[in-house]
Amino acid sequence: MARRTKVVTIDAEKGRDHGKTFLVTEMPADAAEWWAIRALQGILGANPDFDIDIFSAPLAKIAGFAFVGLARIPAEQLKPLMDEMKGCVSVQLPDGKTTRPLLPNDVEDFMTWVELRKEVFEVLTGFSVGGGE
């Protein structure tokens, strides 16, 4: 079975990235597992009093917690995780069939990265950050 993918077109009306289209592709399972372990370690380390039982809570609840929890990880721990998320994003060219790896100026607005990271997280986990599936 192929890895999950999602085509994302940026709708920000006044943004510099309006209309740009990206392809978000799931990480291979071993890379995703390692990413998730490090993310969870960082989240739990930054929230020592966290009271969710990650072994029995619904996956959608854990996924929502984890996405929000990323913001609490110390920057030096978070940077490699964020960089790895970028590796899941490619640019879809105007022909609608061809993609290429990201170049440094392909994303011009930081809010585009917020949207793309949300989409990467959803492709990786299979759960919507905005609510459970």
The reported pLDDT for the residue numbered 61 is 67
Structure tokens at 66: 């984890």
In a domain, 131, yes or no: no
The reported pTM is: 0.81
Q: Mean pLDDT throughout 98-116?
A: 93
Does residue 39 register a pLDDT over 90? Answer: no
Q: What is the CA radius of gyration of the chain?
A: 15
Number of folded domains that form the chain: 1
Q: For all residues of the chain together, what is the average pLDDT? A: 85
In a domain, 130, yes or no: no
In a domain, 132, yes or no: no
Does residue 132 register a pLDDT over 50? Answer: no
Q: Which of 119, 44, 124 is nearest to 77 (CA)?
A: 44
